[in-house]
Amino acid sequence: MKHIIIGTAGHIDHGKTTLIKALTGRETDTTKEEKDRGISINLGFTFFDLPSGKRAGIIDVPGHEKFIKNMLAGVSGVDVVILVIAADEGIMPQTKEHFEILQLLNVKKGIIALTKADLVDEEWLSMVESEVEDSFKGTFLDGAPIIPVSSKTKMGIESLIEEIEKATEEVDPKDTEGHFRLPVDRIFSVSGFGTVVTGTIIGGKVKEGDTVQIYPSMAIGKIRSIQVHEENVKIGEAGQRCALNITNVKVEDINRGDVVSVANIMEPSMVIDCKLYHLKNSQKPIENRQRLRLYHGTNEILCRVIILDKEEIKPGEQAYVQLRLERPITVQRNDRYVLRTYSPMVTIAGGSIIEPVATKAKRFKEDYIKELKIKESGDPKDIIESTVLAISSKYPTEFDILKALGKNHEDIKDILKELIDKNKIISLNSSDKHVYIHKSYYENKLKELMDLLEKYHNQNPLKFGMSKEEIKGKIFGREIKQKTYDEILEIMQSHGSIKINDSFVALESFNIEYTKDQKEVKDRIIKTFKSLGYNSPKYADMEAKEKDKKTFKMVYDSLIDTGSLVKVMEDVVYLKEDYLKAKDIIKSYIEENESIGAAEARTVLDTSRKYAVAILEHFDSIKFTKRIEDKRILY
């Protein structure tokens, strides 16, 4: 079912609140101050049933310039606006500012109500209608119905209701399948129930029992009950004004402007990237780093505007900007916003949010601006690809990508598969959840690794390669999960770029080449090992016979690294061929005799008990054998 929110706008004392009472029979000015002063200060909320049976929510906004903040909070979620203009006064300053705000927020449907029509004659009324018609040519109100009404005599009220009905039929349905979001406009406590917040649901749906999160405080609560139009319901949907009773969250944990949404789906940010339109009738250009007031949903935040592609923004111009905020905000891509000057407070600009969680960017950086243009284009494949590229260093899952997108995509699985098929992104499947990285990120990391290994090989010509752990810290970051890291290395190896030996990595093209002197040292080492069999020679004894201790160590370490020598335990080392032969001897003995002890191992290996025990304990450690009392069996 389509849910509709109707909002009013217009100059102070032009009859907005009185008109709503004529339409609904309800008073939206509820505080004593509002009634005493005869003006709306806070947002007013009510509803009425259309002839079709649809129930529409109504938001009455204050018209006084001092309460523009409240007006902005009210109109941010409306589907149809009734722009109220008093027939006896015509278009006034706040009429113009309210209209500009409506345009900046991309409101698409409107009706113009000429109130107090009973106070003017036909000629004057006709003149005002012509003035209004001319004023809104080329805007979303071009051709909008202009209905003269009188809240006092009820003149025109039926016609206005008919036009509201027509407008609601033409409104696009809200996205009830996306992420649930409700910008908070009121917070209070109800005895026996606890914290209650109200607002207009701008996306998704919420059910009793749902877990929700308050952004940006990140407080977690649960929906106890939901009210829509003063009635208890089980589900609230996009396009409805509702009250949420939230458990486990205190009133002081929530502020007006906060967002109630799905847990962990969004991220508060101090920097957002935007497209900005500067109003034509503004008096001055917007300057880089100018301090302004940002209005988004029900929120007002001070910010600095960083102009990314221009020196300044003249009235009527558009630009890409970065808004650096003085406190965090939680937004989604394509949300609308409004900017007003710091002092005096005048509406000067607005636009749409492109990147909800941005990082500080340098001005006039072509690649960054190009990326913003892709995100602004709205093509889901381009946006998702760009998002994966931006967060590849975090090795994101599908959920992480959705979170970074700042917008729900029901077909994200299909788009990710298509991007994988086109070799734009790489899917890593070794972890519990699939991880996605961009092909460009992979290629950059491969180049970094190959450069690092080339430098390492030049400095360490007798080492097989660099340790995986050292590479991980220098190239990929400590946060990458081990399984994901290993899979990336395996992909690089399968492409013929690197080779892996246990915990070491080398360039595929690299081979250890010994000098004449180094080869002589190597031959002496191997000869010593062959002569002693399983009575492992001590490193210190061999080193003592060498004149060039440094060369000896380099050659000895290289034989360990390449696996020519196998370290069984500290100072117990064997030639690889002898090590493998020992495994076969032990295995054959156990298969013939069911088990083997240290004494038998000493005999079959023709060595001392010390070395026999060392070999057996090593085989236990690699789960080749298993100790049971003083015997070993095959694992």
The rounded mean pLDDT for the chain is: 88
Distance CA 195, CA 247 (A): 7
Contact of 348 with 312, CB cutoff 8 Å: no
Higher pLDDT residue, 106 or 586?
586
207-245, pLDDT tens digit by residue? 999 999 999 999 999 999 999 877 899 999 888 888 999
Residues in the chain, total: 635
Band (377; pLDDT cuts 50, 70, 90): confident
Strands (E), 70-108: 80-86
Q: Prior bond to 344 cis, omega within 30?
A: yes
Instruction: Fill in the amino acid letter for 620.
Output: D
What is the structure's pLDDT at 628? 93
| Residue 635 pLDDT exceeds 50 | yes
| Residue 73 pLDDT exceeds 60 | no
The percentage of the chain sitting over the pLDDT mark of 90, rounded to a whole number, equals 57
Question: How is the beta sheet containing 596-597 ordered, strand by strand?
Answer: 596-597, 631-634, 625-628
457-479, pLDDT tens digit by residue? 999 888 889 999 999 999 998 77
The whole-number average pLDDT for the span 467-496 is: 92
Instruction: Output b/e per residue, 112-132; b: 16+ Cβ within 10 A.
Output: bbbbbbbebeeeebeebbeeb
Question: How is the beta sheet containing 504-507 ordered, strand by strand?
Answer: 466-467, 504-507, 498-501
Contact of 184 with 257, CB cutoff 8 Å: yes
Sequential DSSP letters for 294-360: EEETTEEEEEEEEESS-SEE-TT-EEEEEEEEEEEE---TT-EEEEEESSS--EEEEEEEEESS---
Residue 627's Cβ-count burial label (10 Å; 0-12, 13-18, 19+) is: middle
The whole-number average pLDDT for the span 332-349 is: 89
| Residue 364 pLDDT exceeds 60 | yes
394 DSSP assignment: G
Distance CA 274, CA 305 (A): 10
What is the structure's pLDDT at 376? 86
What is the structure's pLDDT at 173? 72
Band (94; pLDDT cuts 50, 70, 90): confident
Residue in the structure block whose two tokens are 């060595």: 607
| Residue 37 pLDDT exceeds 50 | no
1-30, pLDDT tens digit by residue? 567 788 888 887 788 888 888 888 766 544
The percentage of the chain sitting over the pLDDT mark of 70, rounded to a whole number, equals 92
Q: With CA atoms as reference, report the closest residue to 589 among 577, 574, 605.
A: 605
What is the structure's pLDDT at 239? 82
250-306, pLDDT tens digit by residue? 998 899 889 999 888 888 999 999 999 999 989 899 999 999 999 998 889 999 999
Regarding pTM above 0.75, the answer is no
Distance CA 600, CA 45 (A): 92
What is the structure's pLDDT at 497? 94
Contact of 337 with 397, CB cutoff 8 Å: no
- Please name the helix (run of DSSP H) or strand (run of DSSP E) that holds residue 93, with its range, or none: helix 93-104
| Residue 156 pLDDT exceeds 70 | yes
- Please name the helix (run of DSSP H) or strand (run of DSSP E) that holds residue 494, with its range, or none: helix 482-494
Domains parsed from the chain with CATH numbers: 4-170 (3.40.50.300), 181-262 (2.40.30.10), 270-369 (2.40.30.10), 379-513 (1.10.10.10), 516-634 (1.10.10.10)
Sequential DSSP letters for 111-173: EEEEE-GGGS-HHHHHHHHHHHHHHTTTSTTTT--EEE--TTT-TTHHHHHHHHHHHHHHSPP
Band (38; pLDDT cuts 50, 70, 90): very low
- Please name the helix (run of DSSP H) or strand (run of DSSP E) that holds residue 590, with its range, or none: helix 576-593
Q: Alpha-carbon dihedral of residues 344, 349, 352, 356, nearest 10 degrees?
A: -40
Question: Which residues neighbour 25 within 8 Å (Cβ) at sequence distance 6 or greater?
Answer: 48
| Residue 35 pLDDT exceeds 80 | no
**Tokens encoding 35:** 């009634």
What is the structure's pLDDT at 61? 64
Beta bridge partners of 307: 321
Distance CA 131, CA 146 (A): 11
Instruction: Output b/e per residue, 527-564; b: 16+ Cβ within 10 A.
Output: eebeebbbebbeeeebeeebeeeebbebbbebbebbeb
Band (519; pLDDT cuts 50, 70, 90): very high
What is the structure's pLDDT at 265? 83
